[in-house]
Every structure is written in structure tokens, then in C-alpha cells.
Amino acid sequence: MIQTPQKFTALTDTSTRRLVAVVPAAGIGSRMQTDKPKQYLTIQGKTILEHSLNVLLTHPANIEQIILAVAPQDSYLSELNCLKQPRIRIIQGGETRADSVLNGLNHIPSSDNTWVFVHDAARPCLTHGDMDKLLAVNDINGAILATPAIDTIKRANNHKQIQQTEDRNHIWLAQTPQFFPADLLRHALQTALQQGLAITDEASAMELAGFQPHLVQGRTDNIKVTRPEDLALAAFYLSQQNTKETL
């Protein structure tokens, strides 16, 4: 387990917290089988990345800064009109998601009152309602959006044969945003990476640091666009959200 410095254990005052966001967008999305990174594919006239950023930009809690971590020599950024927004800061991402998030966190001044939303670039269907649920969490363990597993979960061996059936009553599917005190998350990620530990999301780094992030049930339409068939599904969900907003 990662040892957490004592100074982090007293972070309990969230009444005056400042909000920032980090969006890792340096991946290439090879499973989409397209000629460009998946975050630059278009839905309803906007890129997936623009949809994802727009939800953060328009939330009434007023996120002070959105740090966008992109690949070196990203040739698609110039196509995005929203990057003219002064609250968006572009930085260079890393080789892995964890590296990109840590790079983003290193651009946030140290403060006990700063909390960070980390949100996937390719998760365009996030709603303000789900963000509000995260904002209601008020202890230093932080929280992530997640959905309870509804399918039967099988554990496989190396030959893709069923080894056992898991109890799905205790299985949740992680989403983003994931919401933590920025300094605490920076320490957890930095230490885990230095120790060569496996980091699959921000919550896993926090777990290794001895914290127990809250699971906040989110909407099932908050999908991550990963495979070609996800594009049509995301377009449908966004159209449904837009319809409800205009009723």
C-alpha cells in the first residue's frame, strides 16, 4: 500500500473548494478502426471531444480550468472551436492515461481546497445531473461515477475458458468523471507510477493509497466510445438528451 503523508488526512473542508478538470486525450483509440483518434470523430456536427468538454464548460458550478492533455504534434486540435475558451489549457499528455492525468495535475497549483474532475475525452454523454451527484460527496475519499453490473460476470483463464462466475451484487462498472482532492490524487498517482504499480483509473491509485472512493450510481448512457458500434449509440443518447432539453 502507498503511504499517504499525514498532511493529506485533514482535508475535510469542502465548503470553499475550487474545481478544476483534467481531460486525458492523448490516446489513439485503435479499437475504433478509424484514420484518426476516436475523440475527433464527429457526432451531430461536433467532435466527441467537443461534446465531452462542453458538459464541463457549461456546468453551473463554474469549473475554473479545464486541462486538456493531448498527444505531441496533435494535428486535429486546430479543428476545435471550443479551444478558444480561455478556461481550457492545453498540455502535452504522456505515454499512458495515468501519465497524462499526472501531467495535468502537475499544472494545478497545490491547494488543500482544490478538487479535480478527471473525465474521459471519449465519454460525450455525461450529464450535469451526474456531476451534481459527485459534487455532493464531501469527504477526502472522493468518488467516481459507476453503474452496478446487470449481466452475469464470468472470470476467464488464459485460454478464455470460464474459471468461475462472480457475484455481480458486488461488481460495479467504473465511469468518469472521477472526483478527488487534486493534491491527494497527484501524490497517489505519482507514487504508484514510481513503484511500477498497475493504474487502470484514478480510483485505483487512490485505493492503493489506502482510500476507499465512493461509488456514485451514474446513468447507463454515460458510455465511453470505444468500438465502431458505440458511435451510433452515443449519437442516439445525445439526441435523446437534446430532445428533453427542448421540451
Q: Are 214 and 146 in contact (CB under 8 A)?
A: no
Q: How far is CA 64 from CA 17, 20, 61, 76, in A?
A: 11, 6, 9, 25
How far is Cα 134 from Cα 127, in angstroms, rounded to an integer? 11
- pTM attached to this predicted model: 0.92
Q: How confident is the model at residue 246 (pLDDT cuts 50, 70, 90)?
A: very low
How far is Cα 58 from Cα 240, in angstroms, rounded to an integer? 18
Cell representation of residue 83: 479551444
For the segment 138-164, what is each residue's pLDDT rounded down to a tens digit?
Answer: 899 999 999 999 999 999 999 999 999
Superfamily grouping for domain 17-246:
Spore Coat Polysaccharide Biosynthesis Protein SpsA; Chain A (3.90.550.10)
For the segment 73-109, what is each residue's pLDDT rounded down to a tens digit?
Answer: 888 888 788 888 899 999 999 999 999 999 999 999 9
